[in-house]
Structure formats: structure tokens, C-alpha cells
Structure 1
């Protein structure tokens, strides 16, 4: 059984051509200067690549989760930063808005976001709480018919440039944990203080620290129900874990392709590097690992698309394994390239730094293992 259809391969072709035309020329600039690629974002919006699962009526790609994984894989092959930016933008923000927001909210916001004219960010993590999202401390209090939001968010991809925040806030006591969290769709205003964060890899993603100081929201800004935010957060993260698996496959492929070309051309001891059996074995290990990661990512996305009950388990398995594979393949690529691989001229060096966040963001390896165990134990 093929997990991808001809339609998915057409999406791949579009994404690959876009990545090579618009992303490749700016990939190193993003990495070196922490450059946020607004023009490339708008170009992606024209093709539906920016929000691959948002319906066409709102200007999105109208695809399923496999379409998103394919897009992110092709973008990741050129730039881990651009791919992660699109994953956070198109899945954590736009897909969540499409799935849970009201018709009015969707009609007002999604067309602008899908076009790349307005930026959206998913604001969940806090200085206190990354893995333990149920412990968030940002508060939204009812005052005179309005909600007033105060709090502090960290590591928010696209956050520095965002025009809208899908914001998780506490609307009950801290002891209530996940039962007292509400999601707001908050337009940016002067109440939001944003500071850029310098990160090791996936640079140029607008990663920010955010402070919300007496931000005012109405009931119309609530997504879903009061104290019903946890369902939205969990669904969004589970889908995001599969989407980010596509980023991992792409990053691994990008590093592999450069290392393979290096091995074909590099000479030492009177032979090509590719002629040494150790190099051949390394190339084989990398290729096998990438195919494993790709199969996991596609299969997990397929399970979501067909609404299989096995999706939850596989979303965590895919995230855990593809992240590990991306880190390992990029490490091997740097090793094959030797001194050049350790230099800033090497793409493998950039991909190696990009890969590490995949073992941390949207659920650390440890959280993935914890959830997998819980699901096994429950069975």
C-alpha cells in the first residue's frame, strides 16, 4: 500500500520548486543573521504551502496532514529554519484556528494568515513550564465583562513578528492545572512586549520571549470554551508532532545529500572518499535511517487522515524516532565531511544545529517516551 497519492507527489513538486527558488538563496542568510524571511513567507502563501491544511476557501492548500508532512520535508531539505517556521505557522497556529475557532474568527483571520500578510504564533511555553504545559501561569482574569491577560511566554516561534497569538492562559486556580486553561485568539497590540531570542539552530524563525501586560480580550476572542483549552492544546501538539517529523526527514536529507556529494569528490590516499568501505557503510546507514524516518512520518500522518485510533501512539513514536534520526544523520554527515563539516561553509554543520531542537520542541524525547509508556501500560 502506498501511503502517498499522486496528489501528494504534485504537492511535493510544488514545494520542492518553491524551496529551491525562494528558500535556498536565503537559507544561509537566515542562519547567519537570524533573518526573518517575510517575502518568502508571502510567496509560500501564494502557493498554499504556508498553510497546507487550511481549506482553499480561506486561501490555504486544502490538503491533509500527509500533504503538510511532504511540504515540510521538502522545505527542511533546504532550510530547517524555514521548515520549522512554516510548521509552527501553518500547523500549530493556522490548522488549530481552522479546527477550533468560530466561523467569524476563521473568516476574519485565516485569509490574511494564509496569504502571509499577517503572521500567527502559537503561544504556550513559559519560563516555568515547557514539558509541563498544564502548569502554565499566564492568567486571564474576568474584569467588568472583559478578560485581562498577564503573563510571560518563552520560545515562541514567529512570536517576535506575530500579528496574532493563539494564547493559552489560566482562567482558574493553579491547582486545577489542565482543567482551568482557556485558549484566546489575541491580536497584537501595545500590551505585548516581544524580545528576540538567539538560538543555536533553526535561526530566522522569529523565536521570542513575550510578556503580556494587561492585554484585554472579549468573549469573542475565546477559541472553544472557557476552561476548555486543554483539548485544543493536546490535539494541536499531537498533530504538530507528526508535522515536525516531516521537518526532521527534510533536515536529515539535506545533510545526507551534501555529505554524499562530498564523499564522491573528496580525494585522500589516492582514492575517492566514497571508495572506502567505511564511507559506503556510513552512507548506507544514513540512507536506511532516512527511509525509516520517512515511513514513520508518512504512516503517522496517514493514521490521522483516516481517523485511526492508533494515531495517538504513532504521533509520539514518529516524533521520538525521527528527531533521533535527524540528529544522528546530521552528525554522521559532519563526520564524513571532516574539517569542512565543522566549518560554517558546510550545510551539514547548519543542519546539525537545526536538528537538535527536534529532540526538544513540541515535546522532548523524554516526554515522548513517557507518553508511549503510558499508552502501552493502558492497553
Structure 2
């Protein structure tokens, strides 16, 4: 694709953001779940843009996905996070690993935003050590019965389905005895909302599964083959969340630049001070670095390069750091106003922190990168 083709998508998504997202960003930050916005994204075929058109996507490449996520995050990181998960971690997962029934009956509804699916992996015992999960699925009388306790689940409070990772063998088997199920919400699911520091309005919740029934047709991938499904999902998700990082950094930078151009200090505009100029230059350079990493990781995924794996982790690690640093600088430039709830930079600062934790902490990224270096990748 030439850049002119990407510009067409950018024009559409920017108009969408200005019309539907920017005016609602504060309400979403206060906790309002933007289900109507998600549905409107689906109507544009931009909720899961990389899916083929017959499933409700736009047949776009991964860079288009990153650009859409980035533009959403410039206005509302909460909306961008929901979209990123619904697309890269759910829709793509079902498309590549789901059953024929899932693809025909559920996937188009996911892409349209008619149903919301939560990725239910983390547990009170196990965040970074996902292979130690305790949620269990047992085969009883021809059906699976799922019991367990998930934590920090984005979309969890409002989900219609859950992509649940459950243990289907002994705990000592760790990642070799995990299976992923696509479980429809019913009375067996209990959710409790969790108030979080940032990316509010994403329905983050504690989720409990109490004797939930599932069939073999609800398995995503294979029995005891869930670890590959999880890892592949997270690798793509880490690339997509790098786009969220770029969007957050850009949004904070734009707010700080506007403030510096208008704020008067000692009979001068704040932007006339060299220190302010240097800060803005550092922020801009960092954002361009983050863009390069995110876009390059997307490119490597699209060409099926073996270098994608390590680059997805590098992009996740570095863009998260950059987003936190750029938003911190934006708050500092705005001073007292930046510390108030009136400041959008303050919102971006809170939202940025999850990027160093969710979908793999900075520490996990460094661990994996080193392991891949040792393998010669």
C-alpha cells in the first residue's frame, strides 16, 4: 500500500474521532462505558479492520490497525484500549483459532461491535506468570465445567462473551495443560467492577466463573493447546498497544504545545523560553521514535518476518516508556493546571502508566527480549 491509501483511512478515522470520541473523552474517563462508540466503529468496518470483509473487517493490514488505534488514543485512550483488545486479541484470535461456528455466528458480531468479548487470563495469583493460572475446566458427563477467578479483566463487567484460559490438566504441567474457551455470559458469571487509575470506562472487572458449562465446540484451538493461542494473541496485542502508546504521547504533546503557546509567564509566552522549546523537542523526537518502532513491528508481522517476535516486545517496552515520559513532561509544562482534573495531560499521564503493566510488564518484556537474544533472534 502507498501512503496515500493510508491517508484515506486516516481521514475517515479522524472525522470519526472528532465527531464521536473527542466530545465524550471526559465522560469515558469518569467511567462511562462507550458501547455506542464501539458499535459505530464496527459500522465503519474499523473495529476489527484486519479481518476480511466477509467477517466485518476492512481487509486492511496491521499498520492500518495501528493508525486507527493511534488516532483513537489521541482523544480517548479508553476507547483505543477497548478497540485494540476487541480487534487484535479477540477478533483475530477467533479468526485464526476459532471453530467454524465461531467464525460464522460470532465473529461478524464481534467485528460489528454487537457483542463485546473480554480476554480473561490474569488471576489474583497470576499476572505475569500466566502459566500458573488456577481456573479449572473439568470434563464431566460429556461437557466441560469451568470454575475460577479472573482479575483486572478489561471489558469484563460488560462482556457478552469471555475468552477464558483454564487449566485442563495438573498444575505441575503449567503451560502444557491450558485450554482456551469462548464462553457466553450467563448466570454462572459474576462480575465486580474495579476502579482503576487510568483508561477508565473500559469495564475493568473481577470475574468469577461458577460451574459454567462449555462444550468441545467452545474450545478455541485445541485441548491443552491454549498456551500457543495465548502467546500468539499477546504478541499481536503488544504491537497494537504500541499504537495506543503513540496516540497517548501525541495527545499529551499536543495539549502541552497548545498550553505553552498561550501561557504567559514573566511577560513572555511560555514557549519563548528555551527550556520549554527543548522539552517539546525531546517529546517530539521521542514520539517519532515510538512511531517508528510501532509501525516497523506492524510491518514485520504483515510480511511474516521471524524478526517480528522480538520487535513486538521491543516496541511494547520502548513505546510504553516513551508514553509515560512524554505525558510526565506534558504535565510539568502545564504546571499547576497540569496537575488538575481540568487538564487533558493529567488524563493522558494516568492512562499511560498501564502501558508499562498490561499485556506484559516492562520486566517481562526485558526477560523475553534477553531470551530471544540468547536464541539468536
TM-score in terms of structure 1 length = 0.98
Q: Which runs of 4+ in 1 moved over 4 A?
A: none
Q: Is the 8 A contact 1:4 1:66 kept in 2?
A: no
8 Å contact kept, 1:245–1:319: yes
Q: 1:334 to 1:4 in 2, by over 3 A?
A: farther
Distance in 2 separating the partners of 1:312 and 1:148: 34
Unaligned 5+ runs, structure 2: none
1:148-167 to structure 2, matched below 5 A, reads: 148-167=145-164
SS at match of 2:75: coil
CA drift of 1:4 comes to 6.5
Aligned to 1:216, the other structure's residue is in SS state strand
Shift of 1:257: 0.2
**Can you list the C-alpha shifts for 1:254-303, whole angstroms capped at 9, x where unaligned?**
00001000000111111110000000000000000000000000000000
- Structure 1 equivalent of residue 22 of structure 2: 24
* Cross-structure match for 2:68: 71
- The aligned runs of 1:276-355 (5 Å cut-off) are 276-355=273-352
Where do 1:1-379 residues align within 5 Å? 5-32=3-30, 34-379=31-376
Range with bigger deviation, 99-108 or 128-137: 99-108
Distance (Å, rounded) in 1 between the aligned partners of 2:2 and 2:162: 33
2 CA distance for matches of 1:104 and 1:37? 28
Alpha-carbon separation, structure 2, partners of 1:58 and 1:6: 25
Equivalent-residue separation in structure 2 for 1:18 and 1:99 (angstroms): 29
RMSD between aligned residues: 1.0
Partner of 2:199, secondary structure, is coil
SS in 1 for 2:335: helix
Q: Equivalent residue of 1:77, what SS?
A: helix
CA contact (8 A) 1:158 1:205 kept: yes
Aligned-partner SS, 2:208 = strand
Contact 1:141 1:171 in 2 (8 A): yes
Q: Is the 8 A contact 1:52 1:61 kept in 2?
A: yes
Aligned residues between the structures: 376
Aligned-pair CA distance for 1:185: 0.8
331-340 vs 48-57, which deviates more? Answer: 48-57
Segment drifting more, 10-19 vs 298-307: 10-19
Alpha-carbon displacement from aligned partner over 1:38-81 (angstroms, at most 9, x marks no partner):
11111111011211222210112322211111110000000111
CA apart distance, 1:96 = 0.8
Give, in whole Å, the separation in 2 of the partners of 1:27 and 1:278: 31
1:73-106, Cα deviation, whole Å (9 max, x unpaired): 0000001111111111111111111111122211
What TM-score comes out, normalization by structure 2 length? 0.98
Structure 1: give runs of 5+ residues left out of the alignment. none
